[in-house]
Structure 1
């Protein structure tokens, strides 16, 4: 059964996509810790990030770097934190989280409730900064 991320990749369900290449896709987390919280996902459906072969792993991380640089250009933050947890969806992914303090990347924090319009604008802003 395809993961929810594969359904976004295949455009079977909507997602606020901020960047994409032949091997990976970046889209906003629907339950963000901070504004601009983005997921980096390989198009290859692999459950665990460290099960990717070295080439796919390297490509994914270089793509994450490119997207993180774009996020930093448009979201007022000190850094972009990365997190690899991967328990909530059985599809490898990297969280990019704009932060101003260590606590901003705490997954126990309440999630933001941004409107679809706000999410669309954030995605547009990041997309323009990545490209």
Structure 2
């Protein structure tokens, strides 16, 4: 088995190993992320639904840009935005939740009210109307 670079044998031996390693890494990453997601979903379902007094201390967004080559002369650009809200509860702990865009738009930093959540799952925030 001669791995001389000029003979081309090296690539015939290296390419299948490289492709297999890449496949295992990609498949392994997908599997680990899926297991983590299912585990978190299960933990959230097992957690009690809590409603606690809270104050909205911060809002933020994460914007992701995607470029897709859909044809020889066609490129499309897509953008997605993920919305987050951070609440502070009576103990001083801060909890950040992923929220829907419509909910994000209705929240204002400094709002006080009652936060409802289950594990890491945001269920809602009812503003204290007497503070308005």
Please report the TM-score for the alignment, with normalisation by the length of structure 2: 0.22
**Higher RCO structure, 1 or 2 (CA under 8 Å, sep 6+):** 1
Larger-gyration structure (1/2): 2
* TM-score (normalised: structure 1): 0.22
User: Which structure carries more strand by proportion?
Assistant: 2
